[in-house]
Structure 1
Amino acid sequence: MKKKCKTRRSALKRYKKTATNKFLRRKSFKGHLLQKKTSSRKRRLLGIITVGTTESTIVKKFFNN
């Protein structure tokens, strides 16, 4: 009997899967040390973007589909 593949819980928290099987992620460098970053730089780091094709092949392995 084959075991069921489990989803990597860290990937589930960092990425969101869309209906068209693409992945969304936050931009990096926005977690801490925000005091020394300029407001324009912090504004650029806002928002959610789609994962690129190279990274999406890696992320797909973390999800169990």
Structure 2
Amino acid sequence: MYKIKTRRSAIKRYKKTVNNNFLRKRAYKSHLLEKKSSSRKRRLSGKKSVSNTEKSIVKKFFNN
């Protein structure tokens, strides 16, 4: 049986927490920031946990 490798793109995008949850960055904070309000940009800069429906998919990417 061959070794199942971890997807490197998942390592770069998600962070595994102690409770086996995953944190991700929020979208819409890479460009066109002049028209977005400061409070919106501040909210988008925070981390968010992955939803329960996507958690099983992300867990398969880590394999450890």
Is TM (by shorter chain) over 0.5?
A: yes
Q: Aligned equivalents of 1:7 and 1:33: distance in 2?
A: 33
TM-score (norm 1): 0.86
Q: Structure 1 stretches (4+) deviating beyond 6 angstroms? A: none
The within-5 A match list for 1:27-38 is 27-38=26-37
Quote the offset at 1:35 in angstroms: 1.9
The within-5 A match list for 1:42-61 is 42-61=41-60
TM-score (norm 2): 0.87
Alpha-carbon RMSD: 1.1
Amino acid at match of 1:9: R
Between Structure 1 and Structure 2, how many residues are aligned?
A: 64
User: What residue ranges of structure 1 are gaps of 5+ in the alignment?
Assistant: none
